[in-house]
């Protein structure tokens, strides 16, 4: 089964990065990134009917994220494969959209590990998961100024780590 050309990334965003300050929770950062991504896509929270998330902080992340954001999805997926979870969520979301289980999928993650003292330096290759996808999409859109890759048309995102050292790779291409 090929999902090529059947779905699209329509909005991407990041929350505040680095040491975010006391009082911020991972869900606060999820909220920031979600609102920014929805704005980028020209969508509203009420448009979201598919929710995908993994978390080191919440046992049932899609339930916690859904409650925090006020989203009641028709379909949710909390597959946890460590840092490669979010690359896997891309494929799961595309399959869910293709199968008619949802129309607009939100893939989200939030972490206060840096503010909390964890992962102050580079950890394992999979720990950045969803951020690698955001970087790839922004490169393909030509949004990186001095850091922009010249004529970026194809991007490869690879996640390494997690349960049984899972490996996931996604290849994104500029459409049109």
110-166: pLDDT as tens digits: 877 655 544 333 344 445 566 667 777 888 888 877 777 778 888 777 665 544 445
pTM for the structure as a whole? 0.67
Domain 26-173 fold is Peroxisomal Thiolase; Chain A, domain 1 (3.40.47)
Give domain limits for the chain.
26-173
Provide the CB-side half-sphere exposure for 93 (13 A, CA).
24
- What tens digit of pLDDT does each residue of 45-104 get? 999 999 999 887 777 889 999 999 999 999 999 998 877 888 889 899 999 999 999 999
CA distance 88 to 84: 6
CA distance 54 to 65: 10
CA distance 134 to 128: 10
CA distance 116 to 19: 8
């Amino acid at each position: 089964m090929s999902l090529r050309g059947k779905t699209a990334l329509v909005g991407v965003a990041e929350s505040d990065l680095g040491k975010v300050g006391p009082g911020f929770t991972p869900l606060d950062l999820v909220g920031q990134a979600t609102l920014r991504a929805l704005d980028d896509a020209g969508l509203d929270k009420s448009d979201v009917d598919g929710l995908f998330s993994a978390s080191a902080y919440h046992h049932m992340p899609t339930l916690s994220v859904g409650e925090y954001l006020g989203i009641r999805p028709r379909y949710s997926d909390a597959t946890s494969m460590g840092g490669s979870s979010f690359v896997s969520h891309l494929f799961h979301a595309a399959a869910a959209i293709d199968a008619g289980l949802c129309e607009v999928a939100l893939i989200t993650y939030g972490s206060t590990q840096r503010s909390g003292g964890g992962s102050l330096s580079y950890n394992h290759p999979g720990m950045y998961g969803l951020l690698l996808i955001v970087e790839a999409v922004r490169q393909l859109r030509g949004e990186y100024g001095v850091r922009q890759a010249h004529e970026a048309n194809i991007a490869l995102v690879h996640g390494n780590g997690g349960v049984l050292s899972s490996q996931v790779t996604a290849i994104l291409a500029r459409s049109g």
